[in-house]
Amino acid sequence: MTRRRLQTIVIYVGIIFVVLVMGFPLYWMVKTSVEPPTTLFSPPYSYIPTTFSGENYRLLLFETYFPTFLKNSVIVAFFCTLISAVVSVLAGYGLTRFEFPGKKLIARGTLFSYMFPPLMLGIPLYIIFDSLGLRNTYVGLVLAHASIGIPLGTWIMWQYFQIVPKSLEEAAWVSGASRMRTLREVVLPIATPGIITVSTFAFAFSWNDYTYAKIFQDDITMFTVTTGINSFVERTAVHWGLIQAGATLITIPTLIIIVFLQRQLLESMAVGGLK
């Protein structure tokens, strides 16, 4: 066996090992969610389910607030993604195409502001939202999530617009197009991978956020899926079947997005690395 082939085998074995280690919790989550509730704590435990049941999903969807949690998460994540994408595109374009004092400082400051942990920003935001009556509202949670998505999104779009040739815009201006029309019809199609990346990060943060949802929403009808699942942990019982079924449903949207948009995500990361 040649050295090159041995190295290839070692690499593939390492990849398989990492995939198994990383994927096992997901497998166990799905496995537990499709087993009857009565077998969860009945030894002997098996790595392969012997009986299947949809009881956990039935209880989750028809006898809990989970559909309400899901609706809240969809609404908040959708508007957070929309606002983050629009503001990031306009801010990133402005930082790239307009000259003004302190431009680079502002651009770098957006990334610096992203480094603050949500918990640190939660206290001042709580005081502001409480005084404005925005607690237990969609508006408050959307703005809180956007405060994290916009800085990173602005940084990404600032990097991405720099690779768009300005000569294309100048040609459109000569033809009589306005700046906004040029942005819409010339620049944005080229920067689509960057916009997809910004939207993906904003959606993923909003969909998976627990900190802000826990701080600003204390009405069970306004819980998102992350805080809602936490309500299945009671003082006298932990409903593991409901938790695993809910976690499985929560994972599906993010997993689908990553699988289908991984090319655009990698392309945008490469652009950021080049800069």
pLDDT tens, residue by residue, 160-208? 888 878 777 778 787 777 778 888 878 888 888 888 888 988 998 999 9
Contact 193, 264 (CB under 8 A): yes
pLDDT tens, residue by residue, 203-239? 989 999 999 999 999 888 999 999 999 888 887 778 8
In a domain, 119, yes or no: yes
The CA distance from 34 to 25, in Å, is 15
In a domain, 182, yes or no: yes
In a domain, 17, yes or no: no
Is 102 a residue whose pLDDT tops 80? no
The CA distance from 145 to 152, in Å, is 12
Contacts of 264 (CB under 8 A, 6+ apart): 192, 193, 196, 197
In a domain, 135, yes or no: yes
- The tally of domains found in the chain comes to 1
In a domain, 266, yes or no: yes
Contact 65, 221 (CB under 8 A): yes
pLDDT tens, residue by residue, 106-126? 777 777 777 777 788 888 899
Which of the four pLDDT bands, split at 50, 70 and 90, describes residue 79? very high
Q: Which residues constitute the domain of residue 153?
A: 57-274
In a domain, 177, yes or no: yes
What CATH number is associated with residue 228?
1.10.3720.10
What DSSP character marks residue 44? S
Residue written as tokens 């993604």? 81
Q: How confident is the prediction for the chain on average, in pLDDT?
A: 84
pLDDT at residue 8, rounded to an integer: 83
pLDDT tens, residue by residue, 18-60? 888 888 888 888 888 888 877 777 777 777 877 788 888 998 9
Q: Which of residues 83 and 270 earns the better pLDDT score?
A: 83
Question: What is residue 238's three-state secondary structure?
Answer: strand
pLDDT at residue 196, rounded to an integer: 86
In a domain, 51, yes or no: no
Question: What is residue 78's three-state secondary structure?
Answer: helix
Which of the four pLDDT bands, split at 50, 70 and 90, describes residue 87? very high
Say what the pTM is.
0.84
Number of Cβ within 10 Å of residue 68's Cβ equals 16
In a domain, 16, yes or no: no
pLDDT at residue 266, rounded to an integer: 62
Query: Which of 138-142, 188-192, 243-247, 264-268 shows the lowest per-residue confidence on average (mean pLDDT)?
Result: 264-268
